[in-house]
Structure 1
Amino acid sequence: AIVEARAEGETIGEARGEAKGRVEKTQEAICKFMSKRFGIAPGEIMPKVKQMTNLEILDHVMEELFAANTVEEAQAIIHDGLGKSLQ
């Protein structure tokens, strides 16, 4: 029983670690996209993006950013995502 509980705990820990890794990769991708597409320094946008920790919201923001035509649109998308994250 103890071995099973330990294995279950390790599995849960691994899943959390994988989810955190996906969140961090998506956050980095958003910052790189903003830098390459609109010339915004990653350090300028990263604090806002780091506040978004829900992978679904981050994925939605990333998808919406692909359709953004201006830096203002992109910043509004990030702002909206941040608002959803903080609810």
Structure 2
Amino acid sequence: MAVLRESPWYQEILREGEARGEARGEERGRREELFSGIELALEIKFGNAGSELMPNISQISDLQRLKAIQQAIKTVNTIEELQQLL
């Protein structure tokens, strides 16, 4: 087993796995930041009623879509307008 761990092939696979894990962790962190920002913006703009949208929003994994929702909060006038984007 020690010989396998020292092989260049094994080391390359290990590096790839670590890089993928780091990328997933970074994406998860960005998603969590967006969720927090969206929740805060909803609460500030719409009060508790805005926070009630979070269960639906938290099901979204696409970072671009979450960013679009975050931006839309700035321009929509009603919760209903925002719900149409979900």
TM-score range relative to shorter protein: 0.7 to 0.9
State the partner residue of 1:82: none
- TM-aligned CA deviation for residue 18 of structure 1: 0.4
Provide the rounded CA distance (Å) in 2 between the counterparts of 1:38 and 1:74: 11
Identical aligned residues as a percent? 36
Unaligned runs of 5+ in 1: 80-87
State the partner residue of 2:25: 17
Mapped pair 1:28 → 2:8: no
Mapped pair 1:48 → 2:56: yes
1:15-62 deviation digits (Å, cap 9, x = unpaired): 0110111112112211111111110353x2221111111001111111
- TM-aligned CA deviation for residue 71 of structure 1: 2.6
* Structure possessing the higher radius of gyration over alpha carbons: 2
Does the residue aligned with 2:48 lie in a helix, a strand or coil? coil
Mapped pair 1:74 → 2:47: no
TM-score by length of 1: 0.77
